[in-house]
Structure 1
Amino acid sequence: MTIGERIKRVRGEISQTKFAESLGIVQRTLANYEIEKSLPNSVFLANLAQKYSVSSEWLLFGEGPMKREEGPEQARGATQEETQTAASGSNELEYLRQDNRDLRQDNRELRLENKDLRQENRDLRDENRQLRESQKQNHFAPKTEQNDSASYSTGKDQYDLNGASPP
C-alpha cells in the first residue's frame, strides 16, 4: 500500500474537502497526495498522525497497526521512537523528492534528445526519398556515347537508340 493509499484509508468516508480543512490544507493538495502526484511534507504527516491517532510508522512505511493506542504516556505527545520514525520518514521523503527531481530532469533531457533524433530521422527520410527519385531519373537517362551511338539502360538491358540490337 502506498502512502497515498494510506492517507485515503485514514480519510475513510470523510469528504476530501472536510478532511483537507481539518488538516489545514486545500482539497486539491489532498487529492494530489492521494494520487501521489505530489508527496506530503513532514508537517502534514505529523499533523495527520496526531489528529487521527494514526501510527507514524504505519503512515510512513505501512508497518505495524494503523491506529496508535492512546495511553497516558502517549497523550502527552509523541514518543521518542515516533519522533525518530517521523524524522526518518522525513529524510526518506526528502530523498524521494530529490530522486523525483533528478528523474524529471533526466526525462526532460531524454525528450530533447528524442526530439533531435526524430528531426534527424525526418531529414534522413527526406534525403533518402530525394536519392531514390534522383536514381529513378538517372535510371532512364542517356548514357555516355559508345561506338558513336546514344544508348540508355533500364538497369538490366542496354538499348541502342539508333535501333541496333543490344551487344
Structure 2
Amino acid sequence: MDAMQDLGERIRRVRGYTSQEAFARQLGISKGALGCYERGVNCPNVEVILNISRLCHVSLEWLMTGKGEMADTRVPEGPVAGDHGADGAAQPAGGETGELLRRHCAWLQQRLDAMEEERRDLSRENRFLWQRTADLGERLARLEQAGGEEDGAAAQEGAASSRKM
C-alpha cells in the first residue's frame, strides 16, 4: 500500500460514521474530492489536512504518517499555518506543524517530479509513435501506388492477349 492510500484510510477512519457529503461540507471541499482523498487517488493539500486535524482533533503527525497518538492532546502554542493574525496576514508555521508541512511539501515535490518524468517518457513515446505512423502511411501509399501500376500493366497485358485470340 502506498502513502496516499494509507493517508486516505486515516481520513476515512477520522470521518467515522459522518457521511462523505457532510464531512466534505465541514472541510469546505467537494464530496468527490473527499472520495478521491479517501481512495488514495489524490492527495489533499496542506489546508485540507490542517482542517481535518483541527476539526477532528487528531494529531498532524498521526494523520500524515500514522505514527504516534491519533488524538491531538497538546494545547496549541501559537498560530498554525493558514491562521491569520489580527491584521489578516498569514502567520508562519513553526514547530511540529512546520516540520510536518515541510515533509508533506517534500513528498508532494517527489510525486510531482515522478509525474513530470512520466509525462516526459509518454511524450517521447508519443512522438515516436506519431513518426512510426507517418512512416507506415508513406510505405502504404508507395505499396498502393506500386500495386496500382502492376494492376494497370496486368490489365493491358490481359487486353493484348485477348486480342491475339
| More helix by percentage | 2
Partners of 2:108 and 2:69 in 1: how far apart?
A: 19
Partners of 1:105 and 1:7 in 2: how far apart?
A: 32
Q: CA deviation at 1:8?
A: 2.9
Q: In the TM superposition, what are the counterparts of 1:80-119 in structure 2 within 5 Å? A: 80-119=95-134
Aligned pair partner of 1:67 in 67, 70, 73: 70
- Give the direction of change, closer, same or farther, for the CA distance of 1:36–1:133 in structure 2 (3 Å limit): farther
Question: Which consecutive residues of structure 1, in runs of 5 or more, have no partner in the other structure?
Answer: 143-161, 163-167
Partners of 1:7 and 1:47 in 2: how far apart?
A: 11
Q: In the TM superposition, what are the counterparts of 1:118-157 in structure 2 within 5 Å? A: 118-132=133-147, 134=149
**Higher RCO, 1 or 2 (CA under 8 Å, sep at least 6)?**
2
Is the 1:41–1:90 contact (alpha carbons within 8 Å) kept by the matching residues of 2? Answer: no
- Give the direction of change, closer, same or farther, for the CA distance of 1:59–1:107 in structure 2 (3 Å limit): farther
Q: CA deviation at 1:46?
A: 1.9
Query: TM-score w.r.t. structure 1 length?
Result: 0.60
Partners of 1:123 and 1:36 in 2: how far apart?
A: 45
Is the 2:63–2:70 contact (alpha carbons within 8 Å) kept by the matching residues of 1? Answer: no
The residue type equivalent to 1:42 in the other structure is: V
Q: Identify the residue that residue 145 of structure 1 maps to in structure 2.
A: none
Q: CA deviation at 1:5?
A: 3.6
Q: Identify the residue that residue 151 of structure 1 maps to in structure 2.
A: none
Question: Which consecutive residues of structure 2, in runs of 5 or more, have no partner in the other structure?
Answer: 81-93, 158-163
Q: Identify the residue that residue 17 of structure 2 maps to in structure 1.
A: 13
Partners of 2:137 and 2:71 in 1: how far apart?
A: 61
Partners of 2:125 and 2:9 in 1: how far apart?
A: 31
Q: Compare CA radii of gyration and give the structure with the larger one.
A: 1
Query: TM-score w.r.t. structure 2 length?
Result: 0.61
The residue type equivalent to 2:34 in the other structure is: L
Is the 1:41–1:93 contact (alpha carbons within 8 Å) kept by the matching residues of 2? Answer: no
**Number of equivalenced pairs:** 143
The residue type equivalent to 1:107 in the other structure is: L
Partners of 2:148 and 2:69 in 1: how far apart?
A: 71
